[in-house]
Structure 1
Amino acid sequence: MPLMAATINFDEALAELEQLQHTDLPSAITKLHELEADFEHMTRFQQGRLLVFKGTSFIYAGQYQEALVTLIQSENLVQNSDYLFSAYSYEATAYIALRNFKDAFVVMSKSLGLIDRIENIDIKRAAYLRLASLYSAMGIKEEVGSYAAKAESLASADDVKDICTAKLYLSVYQLELEAFTKAFDEFQYTHDFFESNGFPLISFIALKGMGESKLRLQEYSAAVALLLKALKGYESFNFQLEINSVHSLLTEAYFALKQSAEVVEHAKFVTSLPNDPSYTELKHTVFKVLAGLNAENKQFEQAYEFSKKEQYYNQLMFDEAKMKTLAYQAAKFNADEQSREINLLNKERELYVAQQTVKEREYTNMLMFVTILVGGLFFLGILLAVGQMQKRKFMRMARMDALTGILNRGAGQELGENLFVQATARGGDFCVILFDLDFFKRINDSFGHGTGDWALKKVVDSLKSHIRNGDVFARIGGEEFAILLPYADEEKGMEVAEQCRARIEAIDTQHSGHKFVITASFGVSGLMADDLSLDPLFHRADMALYAAKANGRNAVVRYSDILKCDKQATDLRRHIASPSV
């Protein structure tokens, strides 16, 4: 064996393995097993590369826990930033499949920390494409489009492969935006390029996208043909997660074509999958189709049972979306600080690995003693850094409202006061918007507190994307919220408040399981010359809010001098409190 191992050029063999993973997965698995037999004869870096490829093969097979164990082992072996980035990004893929979004964002943050250190444009472009893939799996549409566009901007006219890959993720972005015709055209462009240039796996991904686009365009026969072709391609790669997804899409297409036997065949494949978080959305789709199929066949008892399962998985999806949102907000809230900490930890890791390498090469007792001592000091530093990260994490949690994921009253007011001081010191405007959900108690009394919580979260979700990054959005009471607008005058505040009011009124409540209308009343107050803190603005906005309530609710009212009168304010409050209103 040693003589045979000495004749192998492992760098060339690993490069061949990397190419096979994109073109011929069965051959890549065979090559991987052959190289594993010579693992002990490789350098540490070569061992690390092999473990990255092994972890990737576990992901294709749907063995996510095994993938994590292997990829984490590879981290200490690959000192090169390029392969360390690959290890982190594939770890994130495994965590996402296991619905561990918190740890997924942690390793994605580590990946982001490495990008600035990558000087090779080709490698940096590939890194942006990998991040687009991860954010696509997380369902964060804006980031998918952002990183795909960054990758495309780094490509020259000769980088056709990367341009097409970027277009693939931009196609996914268009699909999420429900621009199905445009998505189909871009998926087709991507598929044709990769199929003709020998990259079958990516061409099958694009083919599935074409099928899903046709499905959403209600061109069901065309969708079935494309999806069956994609399924056959995925089966050749044993890409289990995508195989399961295509079966789920086929149940929808066949149901629309009223081909019951095919619906049952593909649905049986998905329903037989284990109760794993990665299959939640697929099972929700299939049970919804089965409920509809049995209802059409007048098998109402069976339809009812499938409908209950659909509702169960729908709740799991709702909880999962909540976890994604909270994890993403927590990661974004301290992104700059985490990036600095991660860079520091990576530098310490590199120095530690360098010390370990020296220890392996030097055999004198004195150098070994010094190396162990230095290693211990760095280990202590890492422990202290981890402790600080945990402390900051709990501080961030204390600032967030547990139900809605936005700032709570204390954190919102503290941040608002700081922004108020900055804005007024620079001679800028400041505006405060307070709003309160109308007849919220009726929702709780009529449908239960669970539906009330749903309504609060839905209101926040519908407004978050409409609020600027520099503004403050906080929950300050049960159903009362505040939006603070630095450098915005009262006119801008009225415009924002009216847009928010319309968005709340447009909320579709059917997904809560009940049918009702959500509206809100808004009070707006801008900065006055003698305001020294936020308190006067809050007070005036509060008076305007009560005026909006008195004027019939579902309205936006700005503060005016006519509201100054304490008697009128008292009358407004008494009017609001009246049972007849």
Structure 2
Amino acid sequence: MIKFISIAVFAFLFIGSAWANEVVTNASLSTEEMLREADSLRTKKPKRFNTLINALKAREVELNLAQKDYFNYLKGYQLAFNGEYKKAESIWVELSESNSSLELRFRANLSLINIFAYTKRWNEGLKYLEQNISNLHLIKDQTISNLGISAASIFYNQIGQYDLGLSYAQKLDSLSLHGRDLCVAKHQIVESKYHLGQLDVDSEDIKLAIESCFISDEIVWLNLINIFIAKQLVDEQKFREVIDLLESNISDIKRLKYVPSLFQFYALLSQSYYGTGQFTEAQNFANKTIELSVGMENTESEIVAFEVLYKVAVKENNFEEALKYYIKFAEADKAFFDDLKTKYLAFQLAQHKAVEQKVQIELLNKQNKLLQASQRLAESETENNRLFMALLIMVISLLSLASIRAKQTQKRLKRLAQYDSLTQIFNRGHFTSAAQEAITACQKNQDTISCILFDLDNFKGINDKHGHGCGDWVLKHVASTCDDLKRKQDIFARIGGEEFCVVLSNCNAEMAMNIAEDYRKAIAALDSSPSGYEFPISASFGVTDSQQSDYSLEALTSNADSAMYLAKHTGRNRVCNYADVESAKDADGVMI
């Protein structure tokens, strides 16, 4: 059974009924009063909002600069409501980059976030969301601040980051809210918890959400909550209850002509009527869903509609129609899955957060759905061989494509897991596994393996005196210089703040000492002036090999570390062998 993920639903941008022309009778209102009234009524009374905007157009030449900016913001809202998103976006981008008040630029960003969520331009939406989150503490108007928190919750839910969506929704709910703000917060909690599997139809969250939206007369938000109740009931296969709930509320959605909710109503009704065996009604609502979904790409409602039509055609033994709808179902399902992956990648790039496990889970779920669909068709008694062959070829093709994309994603995420983000050489975790493999191989062949461990001298002083940015410059250039000098088979990694380690297969301590000396000279020759400061750069090196420390990574690194500290204590900027440590211990009776 397909679970729904809600489409972009930003009520303060896209809610209302069809615009209607009215005679302007607002001569008694001042320009400022008209602007504020239009702003306050834009979601509740769109007809009145449209009347006020038309009246303000007649006064546009009289507006001062601040009023003109305010009017342009509201005009962008009107354009977006009418589907002219490009024009609205242009107005809001100009406002966002202008010298308008911080609050108005903040609101313009909110509207841009809405547009980018609705048009699935997730990277751009995250950019403006991050701007608003960073400015949230500067917004003094509590209503606008609440809108910012609400937008964060809604956007994170749309991009599939439901933990973050729930966090912002609960933050909003913790404030002293009333009216529409409280309704939005409660709705977002319901949506987040539904997708996190923390919701049931009798939960207190749903009761509070319905109560707050009903009291504030937010009909659209109220029915969005009804949609999540219906989804939960569909998951529990309580189809008759879904039909009763949606049929009793569908007139409100039709009256408001709010398409995003209406076609979800139709899809859920189609699925539920099919579940009760009422195939004619199921087919009727599925066709209505598809008619409304034109121009709204990659929606789960469209997937459900095509799946219902395909199942009804199979029930009627109309295999030619079944094949047609199954192909559309599979195409829509694949497009929706691709959109999910785009969201995950956008969030990963913006937040530097690995999402390999989630992508793999989604991929396996989609593969499982395709295999189950193929199995259902294979088990049905059909006399149409052409349908069977077409489905088989399609399934194989989709699985192959999914496998290729999964490998590409795994390759990208593997690099993030193995390499140090600053120096672009191996990190400690990958170094440990790679070094252990090299040691095991050398032990098996009785080859000598060596370990070089070095630490930058006086690095804390560089950070303290010149700043961490300068310190990062040193780390990157030291890593790059040594990476260029190492042998192809050597394993080179950053294992601590300013500490690096090299494991060298088929190399004894004498050879490693020479290589370490080359590293030392190269580091000492680095010119620090491009960093903006001039200071010496040097490192102290410790060397050991398996003849001295056996075939143990722990012993190799520990003994090399002891040798490195001997180098530190005897003047820095030098290379010491672990044998030197043993000699010092024999001479002084003290372990360095």
State whether TM-score is above 0.5: yes
1:107 aligns with 2:128: yes
1:234 aligns with 2:261: no
Map of 1:268 onto structure 2: 287
Do the aligned residues in 2 keep the contact of 1:22 with 1:201 (CA within 8 Å)? no
1:216 aligns with 2:235: yes
Alignment counterpart, residue 298 of structure 1, candidates 300, 314, 317: 317
Q: 1:257 to 1:326 in 2, by over 3 A?
A: same
Map of 1:473 onto structure 2: 417
The one-letter amino acid of 1:41's match is E
Q: 1:225 to 1:94 in 2, by over 3 A?
A: farther
1:134 aligns with 2:155: yes
Q: 1:270 to 1:448 in 2, by over 3 A?
A: closer
In structure 2, stretches of 5+ residues that fail to align are: 1-24, 361-395, 421-425, 434-492, 507-549, 554-592
Map of 1:433 onto structure 2: none
Q: Deviation at 1:474?
A: 4.4
Q: 1:263 to 1:25 in 2, by over 3 A?
A: farther
The one-letter amino acid of 1:139's match is G
Partner Cα distance (1:302, 1:108) in 2: 45
Do the aligned residues in 1 keep the contact of 2:150 with 2:168 (CA within 8 Å)? yes
Q: 1:227 to 1:277 in 2, by over 3 A?
A: same
Do the aligned residues in 2 keep the contact of 1:248 with 1:267 (CA within 8 Å)? yes
1:441-466 residue CA offsets vs partner (Å, 9 max, x unmatched): xxxx99986353244368699x99xx
1:286 aligns with 2:305: yes
1:176 aligns with 2:165: no
Partner Cα distance (1:149, 1:32) in 2: 35
Do the aligned residues in 2 keep the contact of 1:17 with 1:28 (CA within 8 Å)? yes
1:250-305 residue CA offsets vs partner (Å, 9 max, x unmatched): 22222212222222222222323575354543322211221122122222221111
Do the aligned residues in 2 keep the contact of 1:171 with 1:183 (CA within 8 Å)? no
Map of 1:98 onto structure 2: 119
The one-letter amino acid of 1:34's match is A
Partner Cα distance (1:38, 1:456) in 2: 60
1:87-486 matches, within 5 Å, as 87-153=108-174, 155-156=175-176, 159=178, 162-181=181-200, 185-273=204-292, 276=295, 278-333=297-352, 450-456=401-407, 473-474=417-418
Q: Percent identity?
A: 17
Q: State the SS of the aligned residue for 2:417.
A: strand
Partner Cα distance (1:457, 1:178) in 2: 30
1:204-255 residue CA offsets vs partner (Å, 9 max, x unmatched): 3223332333222322222223334444323333322232333222222222
Partner Cα distance (1:267, 1:303) in 2: 14
Do the aligned residues in 1 keep the contact of 2:103 with 2:139 (CA within 8 Å)? yes
Map of 2:54 onto structure 1: 33
The one-letter amino acid of 2:107's match is S
- TM-score norm. by structure 1 comes to 0.57
Partner Cα distance (1:248, 1:320) in 2: 20
Map of 1:72 onto structure 2: 93
Q: Deviation at 1:310?
A: 1.3
1:485-504 matches, within 5 Å, as none
Q: State the SS of the aligned residue for 1:254.
A: helix
Partner Cα distance (1:5, 1:163) in 2: 31
Do the aligned residues in 1 keep the contact of 2:344 with 2:355 (CA within 8 Å)? no
Do the aligned residues in 1 keep the contact of 2:183 with 2:221 (CA within 8 Å)? no
Q: Deviation at 1:489?
A: 11
In structure 1, stretches of 5+ residues that fail to align are: 335-398, 406-444, 465-470, 477-481, 491-525, 540-560, 565-581
1:1-20 matches, within 5 Å, as 8-20=29-41
Partner Cα distance (1:44, 1:140) in 2: 39
Map of 1:511 onto structure 2: none
Partner Cα distance (1:26, 1:457) in 2: 51
Q: 1:474 to 1:237 in 2, by over 3 A?
A: farther
Partner Cα distance (1:447, 1:261) in 2: 31
- TM-score norm. by structure 2 comes to 0.56
Q: Deviation at 1:112?
A: 2.3
Q: 1:24 to 1:205 in 2, by over 3 A?
A: farther
The one-letter amino acid of 1:452's match is S
Q: State the SS of the aligned residue for 1:139.
A: coil
Q: State the SS of the aligned residue for 1:79.
A: coil
Partner Cα distance (2:321, 2:328) in 1: 11
Partner Cα distance (1:283, 1:472) in 2: 36
1:187-211 residue CA offsets vs partner (Å, 9 max, x unmatched): 3321222212333333232233323
Partner Cα distance (2:246, 2:346) in 1: 33
1:535-574 matches, within 5 Å, as 535-536=502-503
Q: 1:475 to 1:485 in 2, by over 3 A?
A: closer
Partner Cα distance (1:232, 1:484) in 2: 62
1:400-424 residue CA offsets vs partner (Å, 9 max, x unmatched): 99xx89xxxxxxxxxxxxxxxxxxx
Q: Deviation at 1:128?
A: 0.4
Partner Cα distance (1:538, 1:94) in 2: 56
Q: State the SS of the aligned residue for 1:272.
A: helix
Partner Cα distance (2:132, 2:26) in 1: 34
Map of 2:63 onto structure 1: 42
Q: 1:41 to 1:532 in 2, by over 3 A?
A: closer
Q: 1:310 to 1:79 in 2, by over 3 A?
A: same
Alignment counterpart, residue 81 of structure 1, candidates 79, 97, 102: 102
Q: Deviation at 1:171?
A: 0.8
The one-letter amino acid of 1:202's match is W
1:526-577 residue CA offsets vs partner (Å, 9 max, x unmatched): 9999x964555999xxxxxxxxxxxxxxxxxxxxx8898xxxxxxxxxxxxx
Q: 1:452 to 1:252 in 2, by over 3 A?
A: same
Partner Cα distance (2:158, 2:64) in 1: 34
Rg (Cα) greater in structure: 2
Q: Deviation at 1:62?
A: 4.4
Do the aligned residues in 2 keep the contact of 1:129 with 1:148 (CA within 8 Å)? yes
Partner Cα distance (1:217, 1:261) in 2: 23
1:56-88 residue CA offsets vs partner (Å, 9 max, x unmatched): 344445443343234335446782222322221
Do the aligned residues in 2 keep the contact of 1:248 with 1:286 (CA within 8 Å)? yes
Q: In the comparison of the two structures, how many residue pairs are matched? A: 386
